[in-house]
Amino acid sequence: MARTRRNGRVALLAMMLGATAVGSIVGVLGGARSAHADPIADQEVTYTLYFQGKPAGTHTLRVRHFAPRRANGAETRIVESYEDIRGADVPEALWRRTRASARASGSTLSFTAVTETGQPDSGRVTEVNGQRHNDGTWTLNITRGLATETAQLRRSQADLCTLDLLDPVLHVRLIDRPIVRMVDIATGQVIEGRTADMGEMTAELSAGQVGVRRASFETEGHTWHWDWNLEGLLVQYDTRLGTGPLTARADTVPGMRTWGAIEAPTRFDNGVPIVQDDL
């Protein structure tokens, strides 16, 4: 039985890291891909990554929206992400590939993330499975090699995870919290820092000028930034890789949705006051 489970896990990791399409891992969380997905309910962004100003790979994000199953229910979103960091100007020790999928509905979020470091097929793989429950507590299962550990986090120990920042709705969990504790999906570790809502501004992207809402996160003397357009879609961000800056800029910005959680070009809060306890 132990051998069977181990072989199954290896097969799963190989499938997730070897897939060429970001959407291939939706099934891990139980979200079946429709053969005729509604294009106005889906958005996809491809970012170019830069490490210390030099090209460092790509990141692809896709958000899919599904209507509530019952009246007055919450919509469901599937967030799919594939980040590939490597290149001639990136030290090989910092190379990594993270393929992740999350299911978000209401204030809950569950995710699976598989990260391989070093050269492709290095075998240095970390798998993190996490779930934020309705009461704000977390369950994390972290597998490195043959070892798996389970962590139960209280509401006060983690506010969000890095996949929340890719979601058009749940990224607001970063706002209005002076201190944030954030689960890194690549490692399973909790990062703590100070946040600031920097308001609305204009960002210059390859697609032209885009109105964005910016928030910052300061940890260990480094400041990270995230910019979301006024629909809540992440269009650029500045974080850290090792001791150097990692920057992502959207190659193109999808047009506004005509269906989904935010149905029209609106202000950041969609016109509804955001109360921290509601999140």
Contact 250, 46 (CB under 8 A): yes
Range of the domain at 128: 2-278
Where does the chain show beta strands of DSSP type E? 42-51, 54-66, 76-85, 96-105, 108-117, 125-132, 138-144, 147-153, 160-161, 179-183, 190-205, 208-219, 222-229, 234-241, 244-250
- Among residues of the chain, what percentage have pLDDT more than 70? 77
Q: Per mean pLDDT, which range of 114-118, 189-193, 201-205, 237-241 is the poorest?
A: 201-205
Residue 239's identity, in one-letter code, is T
| Cβ burial, residue 195 (10 Å; 0-12/13-18/19+) | buried
3-state percent breakdown (helix, strand, coil) of the chain, nearest 5: 15, 50, 35
On average, the pLDDT of the chain sits at 81
For residues 258 and 171, which has the higher predicted lDDT (pLDDT)?
Answer: 171
User: What pLDDT digit, counting tens, does each position of 210-252 carry?
Assistant: 899 999 999 988 999 999 998 889 999 999 998 899 999 999 8
User: What pLDDT digit, counting tens, does each position of 144-167 carry?
Assistant: 988 999 999 999 999 999 999 999
Structurally, how many domains does the chain consist of?
Answer: 1
What is the pTM for the complete model shown? 0.78
Residue 258 binned pLDDT confidence (cut-offs 50, 70, 90): low
Q: Per mean pLDDT, which range of 8-12, 189-193, 195-199, 273-277 is the poorest?
A: 273-277
**Cβ-based neighbour number of residue 156 at 10 Å:** 9
Number of helices followed by number of strands (H, E) in the chain: 1, 15
pLDDT at 69: 79
Structure tokens at 220: 């260990």
CA distances from 59 to 96, 195, 208, 266 (A): 12, 24, 20, 26
pLDDT at 255: 73
Predicted confidence (pLDDT) at residue 7 exceeds the cutoff of 50: no
